[in-house]
Amino acid sequence: MTKLSAQTLECIQYAAEIIRKSQRAVVLTGAGISTPSGIPDFRSEGTGLLSKVDPMEVASLNAFRYAPERFYKWIRPLVTQIFGAAPNPAHQALARLQAAGFFKVIITQNIDNLHQKAGASHVMETHGTFQTMSCTQCFEQVSSNGFIEPYIQDGHIPYCPQCGGILKPDIILFGEQLPQQTWYESQTACRNCDLILVAGSSLEVLPVAGLPLQALDRGAHLIIANLSPTYLGVRADVVLLGDVAEIIPLIAECVLHD
Say which of 127, 156, 221, 257 is annotated catalytic: 127
CA–CA distance, 253 with 244 (Å, rounded to integer)? 14
Q: Catalytic site residue 257?
A: no
Q: How far is CA 143 from CA 22, 133, 165, 171, 247, in A?
A: 37, 6, 15, 13, 34
Contact by Cβ (8 Å): 91, 120: yes
For residue 207, cis peptide bond before it (omega within 30 degrees of 0): yes
Residue 5 has a CB neighbour count (10 Å cut-off) of 10
H-helix segments, the chain:
6-21, 55-58, 61-66, 68-84, 89-99, 114-117, 148-154, 180-192, 211-216, 244-257
Task: Give, to the nearest 10 degrees, the angle between helix 244-257 and helix 6-21.
Answer: 50
CA–CA distance, 152 with 77 (Å, rounded to integer)? 8
Question: CA end-to-end span of the chain, whole Å?
Answer: 21
Contact by Cβ (8 Å): 246, 93: no
Residue 189, judged by CB atoms within 10 A of its CB (0-12, 13-18, 19+), counts as buried
- Residues annotated as catalytic are 127
